[in-house]
Structure 1
Amino acid sequence: MNRRLPVKLRELSECFRTKSLDPFSVVEQCFALAEQRKDLNAFVRLSTSQARHQAKQSAQRYRDGKPLGALDGAPIAMKDNFCTKNVHTTCGSRMLENFVPTYSATVYERLECQGALLVGKTNMDQFGMGSGTVDSIFGPTKNCWSENLQKDEFRIAGGSSGGSAVAVASGICFAALGSDTGGSTRNPASYCGVVGFKSTYGLISRHGLIPLVNSMDVPGIITKNVDDCIVVFNAIAGPDDRDSTTIKVPFNAINVPKLDRISLKGLKVGIPIEYHCEGLSDEVLKAWTDVADMLEEAGAIVETVSLPYTSASIFVYSILNQCEISSNMARYDGIQYGHRSDEDSSTEQLYARSRAEGFNSVVKNRILAGNYFLLRNNYDKYFLKALKVRRLIANDFDQVFRKVDVLLTPTTLSAAPRYKDFTRSNNRDQCAVQDFCTQPANMGGIPALSVPIRLSEEQLPISLQLMGPNFSEQRLFEVAKWIEANVQFDKYC
């Protein structure tokens, strides 16, 4: 008989220590639940044999009294753009449908070294280009909070890490990794009622993460609660010689804060006026106002601040995103790796046909737009100007963090929309709306965290976002844990 699993990773680890649970039985429960909830389409591939083998090894370590830590025996999932040795990694695209890496991403290697069990690879928008997880060759992922999963009435999971968010929210695994280029971890975490986190750029290695936008990509973490997010972050952060963009100084592990020792007295919280934007729902606005009031009542100093270049941020993000995509996608030629067409009349035709068959319309459009922006006649007008405005956006954050310690904003402008409503607009327009509050953090390289607050009138999660200056992860986690404890979102789960 299956028993209810613990809520937190440390509680799960303690159950393994006391032998009230064992890793093998837990991972079997996860696979059983994955089978029951396959209608959500969170996974593109389950790693049953690998996870069972890992579970047996974990169980032996507990019997020997030598567990590797709080992650030993914990079921986790990986977004399908992280390379996993001898396990298909597709990026949700036909181009990589049959790609099996010969090595693993650094983040997965570190999780595996901590004893984590790989349940499977999760669904995503093709190559991470989207904010709904609706553009995968495996079909859309459905939000587990949906009132109706039939036809096109279901709620979107958010994207592009929607599969990872649904895997955690539905209880199939305890934690999952996503990638965050413009909010692709925080956006689905918000819609699915879980914690979504991106660190300071360079604190977590990108080695083995198939790139979308190198200057903005950050491996992201999705968990049920803040404490678990800290455990995973401590396991995967730190320098990596295989990634030249990682920060070279040693990583100091984050302390899991005790709630009774968290004081908000004197904490300066900024409320950016630019985030009170067109399309912001009344329910999200009320949650934002109520939490700001809660923080103020607890002794925090809450004040309005301004980030003037936020209004330009989404346009700058779109230009730079597409320019880097056009460069990164050039490697998929059908010869070295990736989908290869049967076309054999010429090398040029082989390239063209392979890419036409392997990429969907979203990827093709971004490649074309990126190449247009990078044309000699357009380079200064678009690409260089976008880089200059990106610097101004980063400067906005630098200036505001001289006045406040953290920023409190919405994560998304509303609760999760229905699939039929979401797909009425094209991918570019949807990303402009869905990523409005999240992508500026990627432009500035600063850490950001989404925490669930309450349910809407339609019983859908509403979340808020915390942002801080570079390397302020400890403070962000403390404030997020305080909010988590006081809003008690877990009572809805």
Structure 2
Amino acid sequence: MLGFTIREISLAFREGRISPSELCRKCLNHIKETRHLNAYITVTEELALKQAEESEGRFLRGAPKGPLDGIPFAVKDNFCTENIETTCASRMLKGYRPPFNATVVQKLLDQGAVLLGKTNLDEFAMGAGSTDSAFGPVRNPWSYSDTYRDQSRAEPDSDWVITGGSSGGSAAAVASLSSFLALGSDTGGSTRNPAALCGIVGLKPTYGLLSRHGLIPLVNSMDVPGILTRSVHDAATVLGVLQGLDVKDSTTIYHPAPHNDLPDDIDIRKVCIGIPKEYHAPGLSRETVSQWSHVADLFERAGATVREVSLPHTQYSIVCYHVLCTAEVASNMARFDGLEYGHRSAVSSSTEALYATTRHEGFNDVVRGRILSGNYFLLKRNYQHYFVKAQQVRRLIADDFAQVFGSGVDVLLTPTTLSDATRYSDFIQEDNHTRSMQEDVFTQPVNIAGLPAVSVPAALSQRGLPISLQLIGRALQDRKLLTVAKWLEQQLAFPQIQLGGLEARGGGRSLGVSQREQTSVA
């Protein structure tokens, strides 16, 4: 049951094959069995069991709230959760318990979904590996497959692979089958990047389609709540529940909610697929290029129009993002001063000393570095040269996308990441800034332009790790994007980790799961 999709579990609830309480207990047990992944910071066991019992009562009365009633979910620990510790994986917010729920969290709870806990991330979502957390790094579940061990000839306990970031805990929770869906955040690729490396679906909706209220901000002009699931159809279901205007977030867009139940029989012949030539970036692995080419051929053979397009200003996106991101970080992080909530230093010699020591003790080097960079870019003598210039480049990048979509292209097909997951020991050799520039090269331009994008797992690499591809759509055309993504998912039949016989099956391959992940779940 833990390997089922949301749609399959919802049907099982209605048919009485399993109850929400039984499923919740299985998920909680599996969280304990996979604790070595370090996916969760906080597990809300008592609350989850209570919510599951309430959901079970609704099913017994024949009155479930909807397709998410009784479905266990996890939340990245930078979303506020009422009376549940929200840390952003930082010492700065240790012990902070918000008095309210983020809007997207509340919408899930209102639909009867069951909150399992809060997931691990890079501190304040600043990273691309989920390795810079005050609670330790997150491990990719695929590190523990027999396929990866055999290929790498390394012990996964000593040389495991990263999940990607910053929503690595959410991705690991969904990929390891402890949760059926998870919320992430996406500012430069933080949902799609870990989804790609963990072999699941990661959706970044159109900016403004989902409320940011209660999402502790990184870059207000680019932050988007992200959705991580094990199927495209599930992502569409969750999107339908979460989208909508929110008076608590002035950036939300009024957009009539379409019917998000995607069709099973999809005609791809009238779709035009664009292949951006600039996405043949340095460092792109041969295996990723091979899958990119293979999928383009799949579309063409099915009758879709496939053509090369150009996004000439894409190459400037990462540098542009670095300026804009750090500038907004410098502003957003000013609220963490030790006076109203979170960590407070014991230094009391002066107010200035209290501020400085609190922030030095509470923030890691990565956060402090971005604050300093942002303040430098915002200095009066630098403002025009850096911040204003970056905003101008941002407009050029967005205009490139608008021009391509205006020419008749419906969806862009690109890689999500340069390669499959990197070993942790190799990943930490580079500094956070360099790693983020490398890992977000394909995902970040989408945030600059505010467009929807989804990462879909395509195949396994020679090392037995997921390789994924990204589809980018027009603004507010999220459903059409997901329809194309579902068609692609149907063609690829990517192998998912399952539990029954301690192996994952699909696409003609099977992947053994390590002995300590064994469970009696059928």
Does residue 90 of structure 1 match 2:122? no
Quote the Cα distance in structure 2 between the aligned partners of 1:407 and 1:356. Answer: 43
Q: Is the 8 A contact 1:152 1:418 kept in 2?
A: no
2:196·2:456 contact (CA, 8 Å) conserved in 1? yes
- Unpaired segments ≥5 residues, structure 1: none
Matched, 1:389 2:393: yes
Alpha-carbon shift at residue 338 of structure 1 (Å): 1.8
Q: What is the SS of the residue equivalent to 2:437? A: helix
- 1:412 equivalent in structure 2: 417
Instruction: Give the deviation of 1:443 after TM superposition.
Output: 0.1
Residue pair 1:34, 1:172 contacting (<8 A) in 2 also: yes
**Where does residue 399 of structure 1 map in the other structure?**
403
Distance (Å, rounded) in 2 between the aligned partners of 1:325 and 1:254: 37
Shift of 1:150: 4.7
CA contact (8 A) 1:181 1:212 kept: yes
Q: How far off is 1:67 after superposition?
A: 0.1
Asked if the contact 2:415–2:469 (Cα under 8 Å) also holds between the matched residues in 1, the reply is yes
Q: For residue 462 of structure 1, what is the aligned residue in structure 2? A: 467
Normalising to structure 1: TM-score of the pair? 0.98
State the match for 1:44 in structure 2.
41
Residue in structure 1 matched with residue 501 of structure 2 by the alignment: none
Q: Which amino acid aligns with 1:43?
A: Y
Match runs of 1:136-215 below 5 Å: 136-146=133-143, 147=149, 150=156, 152-215=158-221
Aligned to 1:427: 432
Residue 126 of structure 2 corresponds to which residue in structure 1? 129
Separation of aligned partners in 2, 1:149 and 1:326: 41
Which amino acid in structure 2 is aligned with residue 318 of structure 1? H
Structure 1 consecutive aligned stretches of length 4 or more whose deviation exceeds 4 Å? 148-152
Residue of 267, 281, 284 corresponding to 2:285: 281
In the alignment, is the contact (CA less than 8 A) between 2:211 and 2:243 conserved in 1?
yes
Structure-1 separation of matches of 2:369 and 2:331? 13
Distance in 1 between residues matched to 2:93 and 2:429, nearest whole Å: 28
Aligned to 1:439: 444
Q: 2:59 aligns with which of 52, 56, 62?
A: 62
Q: Aligned pair in 2 of structure 1 residues 133, 5: CA closer, same or farther (>3 Å)?
A: closer
**Measured at CA, do residues 31 and 299 of structure 1 come closer, stay the same or move farther in structure 2, by a change above 3 Å?**
same
Q: Is residue 2:78 matched to residue 1:72?
A: no
Alpha-carbon distance between aligned partners in 2 of 1:12 and 1:468, rounded to the nearest angstrom: 29
User: Hey, what's the Cα distance between the residues in 1 that align with 2:314 and 2:120?
Assistant: 30
1:7 alignment partner AA: F
Aligned partners of 2:209 and 2:255 also within 8 Å:
no
Q: Does 1:341 align with 2:345?
A: yes
> Which residue of the partner structure matches residue 228 of structure 1?
234
Mapping for residues 343-382 of structure 1, pairs under 5 Å: 343-382=347-386
Q: Deviations over 1:174-196 (max 9, x none)?
A: 00000000000000000000000
Q: Secondary structure at the match of 1:286?
A: helix
Q: Is the 8 A contact 1:24 1:56 kept in 2?
A: yes
1:474 and 2:476 correspond: no
SS across alignment from 1:285:
helix
- Per the TM alignment, residue 216 of structure 1 is displaced from its structure 2 partner at its CA by 0.2
Q: Look up the equivalent residue of 1:441 and give its one-letter code.
A: V
What is the letter of the counterpart of residue 353 of structure 2? Q
Gaps of 5+ in 2: 144-148, 496-505, 512-522
Shift of 1:266: 2.7
The answer (yes or no) to whether the contact 1:79–1:178 under 8 Å persists in 2 is yes
Query: Cα distance, 1:5 vs. partner?
Result: 3.7
Counterpart code for 1:317: Y
**TM-score, scaled to structure 2:** 0.92
Q: Distance in 2 between matches of 1:252 and 1:204?
A: 11
Which whole-Å CA distance do the structure 1 matches of 2:481 and 2:259 have between them?
A: 11
Does structure 1 retain, via aligned residues, the 8 Å contact 2:240–2:260?
A: no
Q: 1:236 to 1:389 in 2, by over 3 A?
A: same
1:120 maps to amino acid: G
Structure-1 separation of matches of 2:155 and 2:430 = 21
Distance 1:331 1:165, change over 3 A: same
State the AA in 2 paired with 1:466.
L
User: Tell me, what secondary structure is at the counterpart of 2:225?
Assistant: strand
Q: In structure 1, what residue type is equivalent to 2:438?
A: V
Question: CA separation in 1, counterparts of 2:454 and 2:255?
Answer: 22
Q: Match of 1:90, SS?
A: coil
Compared CA separation, residues 447 and 250, structure 1 to 2 (3 A) = closer
CA contact (8 A) 2:227 2:238 kept: yes
Aligned residue for 1:448? 453
